[in-house]
């Protein structure tokens, strides 16, 4: 049995916004600049919402968990991985 820590991915996904790359940290709910991790944009901010839309990040309104939604899924098929609420 793996412990909980090992279930998180070792490599975080990245998204490009303009000429900059941001690491997407779903656990902390923030984007971090790839070239300067001290610069963070939380999902729950105006800039964070713009980046979330760009990166297909959806945050559950019921429990706050964030996921990256693969393209091609329609909104009414999306449910939270933790609490199973609809994401829209």
Residue ranges binding Zn ion (CB under 5 A): 60, 62-63, 65, 80, 82-83, 85
**CB 25 to Zn ion: min, Å:** 18
Q: Which is nearer to Zn ion, 33 or 79 (CB)?
A: 79
CB nearer Zn ion, residue 41 or residue 80: 80
CA 54, 57, 62, 64 torsion: positive or negative? negative
| Shortest spacing between CB 7 and Zn ion, in angstroms | 17
Cα–Cα distance measured from residue 8 to residue 2, given in angstroms and rounded to the nearest whole number: 11
Give the residue with the Cβ less far from Zn ion, 22 or 48.
Answer: 48
Q: How far is the CB of 67 from Zn ion (least distance, A)?
A: 9
**Under a CB-based contact definition with an 8 Å cutoff, are residues 67 and 58 in contact?**
yes
Q: Could you give the dihedral angle defined by the CA atoms of residues 49, 26, 76 and 15, in that order, rounded to the nearest 10 degrees?
A: 60
């Amino acid at each position: 049995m793996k412990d909980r820590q090992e279930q998180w991915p070792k490599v975080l996904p990245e998204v490009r916004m303009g000429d900059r790359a941001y690491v997407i940290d779903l656990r902390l709910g923030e984007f971090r600049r790839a070239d300067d991790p001290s610069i963070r944009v939380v999902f729950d901010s105006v800039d964070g919402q713009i980046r979330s839309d760009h990166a297909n990040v959806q945050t559950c309104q019921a429990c706050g968990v964030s996921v990256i939604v693969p393209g091609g899924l329609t909104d009414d098929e999306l449910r939270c991985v933790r609490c199973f609420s609809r994401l829209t």
